[in-house]
């Protein structure tokens, strides 16, 4: 009988982005999802055990990030995905705090310049939101594009980091009330 691998998890309520689910193995953080009430299915030969204590170091760094005190996470990750996905996620990890890239730029960085749509799908499949900063990836014109936690959450994270981005016209509910230099430009710290 194969040995069971333990995955520890906890749920936290973040005032900044809402409920989060974190899970880790002995190798490092395995997932950080925007929690919507359902757990991911355990992998083959895995047992998931709820433990706030096992996730404490990850939660502490995440909280420091939300307070604006941490710009780079220092813990290990336990990434599970295809080699292409891992290449994309590693490229995302190299985007500096407060900076953004386009899907095409990420495709270029991984040596697949025509694979920008596949890069978008790898972002969609990112198992460790926020830490693997897919929120730092924008459309070619610098506007916010899809995000698992919602565009409002993506905007909050980018503002927290002081990143520059553009809001699409449909996200600007009332451009006359917008206090940024251009009604569709945002660069204020959160």
Residue 88 known to be catalytic: no
Pull the structure tokens for residue 61: 């760094």
* Residue of 39, 43, 46 whose CA lies nearest to 6: 46
Per the listing, tokens 């660069």 go with 187
Q: Which of 10, 88, 134, 172 is catalytic?
A: 134
DSSP at 173 = S
Active-site residue numbers?
A: 134
């Amino acid at each position: 009988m194969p040995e069971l691998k333990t995955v520890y998890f906890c749920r936290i309520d973040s005032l900044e982005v809402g409920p989060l689910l974190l899970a880790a193995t002995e190798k490092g953080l395995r997932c950080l999802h925007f929690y919507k009430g359902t757990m991911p299915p355990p992998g083959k030969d895995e047992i998931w055990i709820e433990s706030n204590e096992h996730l404490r170091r990850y939660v502490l760094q995440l909280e420091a990030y939300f307070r604006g005190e941490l710009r780079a996470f220092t813990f290990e990750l336990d990434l599970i995905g295809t080699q292409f996905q891992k290449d994309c996620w590693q490229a995302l990890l190299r985007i500096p705090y407060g900076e953004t890239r386009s899907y095409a730029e990420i495709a270029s960085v991984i040596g697949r310049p025509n694979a920008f749509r596949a890069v978008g799908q790898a972002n969609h499949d990112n198992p460790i939101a926020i830490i693997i900063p897919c929120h730092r990836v924008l459309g070619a014109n610098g506007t916010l594009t899809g995000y698992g936690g919602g565009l409002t959450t993506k905007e909050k994270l980018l503002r927290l980091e002081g990143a520059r981005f553009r809001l699409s016209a449909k996200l600007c509910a009332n451009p006359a009330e917008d206090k940024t230099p251009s009604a569709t430009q945002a660069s204020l710290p959160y």
